Structure 1
Amino acid sequence: MLRLEKWTASQNRKTVLKDIQLSVHQGEILALLGPAGAGKTILLKTIAGLHPNQRGRIWLNGMDITAQSAHRRNVVMVFREALLFPHMTVAENVDYGLRFRKLPPDERKNMVHNALAWFGMAEMSNRMPSELTTDQQRRVSLARALVLQPDLLLLDEPMSDLEPWLRQDLRILLKELLYKLGMTVIYSTRDREEAVRLADRIAILHQGRILQEGTARQLVDKPVAPDVAKWMGSAVLIRGVWRKRVWETDVGSFPVAMFPRSFPEGTIVSGAIYPRDLQAAGWSQPIGERTLRLEGKWVLSADTGREYLHHIQLDNGVKVSISSRRPLERTESGRVALLVEADCIPLFADEKHLL
C-alpha cells in the first residue's frame, strides 16, 4: 500500500534519513520505534508531503507520489501536540477537514458526531479546547484525523504527553478503532511497550537508518544488530574476541562449542543478553554444558509483593535488573552469580550499530 525506495532526506543541510527502504501493507499498523533524533518525525513528514522532497521514490496505492503535493495525497498526520484551533469548538475542529470535501452539512454533522462518539467526546462537542484536559484534547485531535478516513494515517508520538494510565486506556481504544475502520497506519514512538501492544509489525529506526523490521517476536528472537536487541528486550551487551576454542569476553571466557554460531578466529563478537533469560544462581551451583555463568556485585533489591526485583552490576560494569520469586543468594562481600543459556544469546560479528 505504501513503499519507500532508497529514500534520503536532509534538514538544515544535514542528512537525517539514509536510503530508507520501507513497505506498509493495506490495513496494517506499523510502529516506527527509535530514540529522539532518529528521524521518525522527518520520515512521517516526507510521506505526508510536509517536508521538501530529497532523493528516492514514494509509492502509495501503486502510484508514484514523490512529487505530489500534500493536499492531494489523502494522507493525514497527527502531531505530538493536539494543535486544535483555539477559536473553534470541539465539533468545529473535527469538522474542519470535512468542510473542504463539499459534503452536505447534515452528512458532515453526522460524521462529526460519530467520530467524537468513538472517543467518548460527543457530549463535549460545544466546548472550546481551553476547557478540555490534555487527554480530551488528544482524543479530539485523533477524532479530527480519523473522521477523514485517509488512505494512510501517520501518528507522531500522539500519546507522549499523557499519564501512563491514560495512555493505556487510549491505546486500547485507538487500536480497536483502527482495526474496525481498516486503516493503514504508521505509528511513531519511543516506547517499546506501546509499539508491541499497538502494531502488527515494528521498524527500528536508528541514526536515520532502518536497522530491521518485522513482528515483535522476529525482532526479539533474531535481531540483526545489538541496538535492535536493546530496543526490543533491554538487552545488555558483553564483548570479546572469538578464538579457536573460547570466546574471550569482558565477563569471562566461554567455550565456542556451546554456541550455535561460529566466527573466524580473531573476530570481535558482541553478545546480547536479555534480562528475562538471566536466572539467579547459588554461588556454588553446578551449571550445564551450554550455560554461561556471569558474576557481579549486588546493588539493591526491592520486594514488589509478588516477586523480588534485583539490580546487579556485572564485572564488566554493565548494570542489569532481574526478577525472582525468592531473595537473591549472595556472598558476604555481595557477590552474585547469574546463569544464561548460550542458545538465548544473539551474537554479532561487528559493532557498527552500537550506541
Structure 2
Amino acid sequence: MESVTKSYGSTTVLHNLNLALAPGELVCLLGPSGCGKTTALRCIAGLEEVSGGRVLIGSRDVTDLPVNKRDIGMVFQQYTLFPHLTVAKNVEFGLAMRKVARAERATRIAEMLEIVGLDHLASRFPHELSGGQQQRVALARALVTKPRALLLDEPLSALDAKVRVKLREQIRIIQTELGITTVFVTHDQEEALAISDRVAVMEAGRIAQLGTPEQLYRQPVSAFVADFVGLSNRIEGLYSGRQVRIPGASLPVITVPAAISDGTPVTAFVRPENVRLEAVADDVARDGIRGRVASSGFLGAVRRTIVHYADSTIASQHDGDSEYAPGDEVIIRFREEPVTIAADASMAAGSGIVRAVPADV
C-alpha cells in the first residue's frame, strides 16, 4: 500500500497509509474498532475503491482492478459457505470459476482438505460441521486457487476461546508451509502477537507503530501503543535526562515525545512483570514503597497481584509459586526496564503513585 487514502464524503478513514509486506510474510493489522484496519484490508481486496494512493501485489498495480482480477484469497469473520454444497464442492467453487480442469480440481481439493485436516469430512454439508471446521473450509476455499496473497478479516472472532487458539496455530502452520503472503486483521492483541511476523498497530486511520511482536511489546513508541498492546500501569513521574523519576525508581525512557523536556511531568507506562513485590518481615526494616495486597489471581505459570498504596493501585505479574494473600503488606520495587512516557494529562487520570490499573484488571 503506497500512500493509500480512503474517504467517505468529508470523512477520511485512512490517511496516507504505507505498508509493504515481504513475500511469505504474515502481518497483522491490529487496533480498536473504528481504527481503519478492515477498511485497509478491503482496499487491498478491491472491495473498497481507494481515494488516493496505490495498491500493488508484487510489481503489479492492482488499484483499479476488480476483486476477481487481483489473484487473492479472502476469509471473512462469517464463514460465508454455500449451505447447499458439500465441503468438497465449497472448496471446488473457486477452481470451477477459473475453469480449472476437472482432474486437477479433484487433486487440489484433496490436497487442500488434507492440509486443513478435513479430508474425512469432504461429503458433509456446512450445517453438519462445527464453527472451527466451517472456518477451515473457508480457509481451504481461499487457498485452493493458490492466490498470491491471503487476506483474513477477523476470521476467529466468532469462535470460542479454545477453538480460536487451536485454529490460529493451524492457520500459522499452513501459512508458513505454503509461504503465502498474508494480511490478518484482528482487534485481539494476543492473537496478533502469537502468529505475526510483524504487527501494524493502527490508530485513527494511521499506523502508530509497525514492528515485530517483541518490538511492540518491549519498545512501544507511543502511549497509545503501550496502552493497547499488553497491560501497563500508569505511574506519575518527572522526566529528566532520558530518565523518568517515579516513586521508588528512576527508569530509562524508550522514546522522548517532542513536547517533553527536562522537568516535564509525565505518565510512565510500566508493565506488570516489571513490578516486583517483596514480603515485609516484622523484624526487618525495609526501604521502598509499601503497599497492601488487594487481591491475587492464579493464571497458571504466573500470578497477577493487585496492590493498594494510599488511594492508588498497581498490578504486578510474577511467578505463579509466589503467593500473596489479601491484606499482606509488601514492598513495591521496579525493574530497570525502559518505559514509554506521555505528557498528556488525560493519560494520567487519578491520584497517588499509580494513576490507573490495567484496563482489564
- TM-score range, shorter-chain basis? 0.7 to 0.9
- State whether residues 295 and 315 of structure 1, in contact with CA within 8 Å, keep that contact through their aligned partners in structure 2: no
Q: How does 1:76-225 map to 2 (within 5 A)?
A: 76-225=73-222
> Which residue of 1 is the match for residue 55 of structure 2?
58
Q: CA deviation at 1:74?
A: 0.8
Cα pair 1:80 1:160 within 8 Å, conserved: yes
The letter of the residue matching 2:232 is: A
Q: Which moves more between the two structures, 262-271 or 229-238?
A: 262-271
Query: TM-score, normalized by length of structure 1?
Result: 0.85
Alpha carbons 1:129, 1:137 under 8 Å: kept: yes
Question: Counterpart of 2:339?
Answer: 346
Q: Do the aligned partners of residues 340 and 74 (structure 1) sit closer, same or farther apart at CA in structure 2, a change above 3 Å counting? A: same
Provide the rounded CA distance (Å) in 2 between the counterparts of 1:254 and 1:307.
24
> Aligned AA for 1:230?
D
In the TM superposition, residue 28 of structure 1 has moved relative to its aligned partner by 0.5
Q: Which amino acid aligns with 2:335?
A: E
SS at match of 1:22: coil
Give the alignment partner of residue 328 of structure 1, picking from 298, 320, 324: 324
Q: Distance in 2 between matches of 1:150 and 1:245?
A: 48
Within 2, Cα distance between the matches of 1:133 and 1:311? 39
Aligned partners of 1:282 and 1:337 also within 8 Å: yes
- The separation in 1 between residues aligned to 2:346 and 2:2, in whole angstroms, is 22
Q: 1:301-337 deviations in whole A, cap 9, x for unaligned?
A: 235676644223455745525234333388x6x6543
Q: CA deviation at 1:276?
A: 1.2
Out of 129-138 and 276-285, give the one that drifted further: 276-285
Gap runs ≥5 in structure 2: 348-358
Q: How many equivalent residue pairs?
A: 340
Q: Secondary structure at the match of 2:158?
A: coil
Number of the residue aligned with 1:48 = 45
Taking only aligned residues, the RMSD between alpha carbons, in angstroms, comes to 3.0
Deviation (angstroms), 1:277: 1.3
Deviation digits for residues 93-136 of structure 1 (CA, Å, limit 9, x no counterpart): 11111112121111112111211121221222222211211111
Q: Deviations over 1:192-237 (max 9, x none)?
A: 2222221111111122221111111222232111222233331222
Question: Does structure 2 retain, via aligned residues, the 8 Å contact 1:267–1:349?
Answer: no
| Structure 1: unaligned runs, 5 residues or longer | 288-292
CA deviation profile, 1:55-97 (whole Å, cap 9, x unmatched): 2222221122222222211122211010111122211111111
- CA 108–218 in structure 1, closer or farther in 2 if over 3 Å, else same: same
Return the TM-score normalized by structure 2. 0.83
Which secondary structure state, in structure 1, belongs to the residue aligned with residue 225 of structure 2?
helix
AA aligned to 1:14 is T
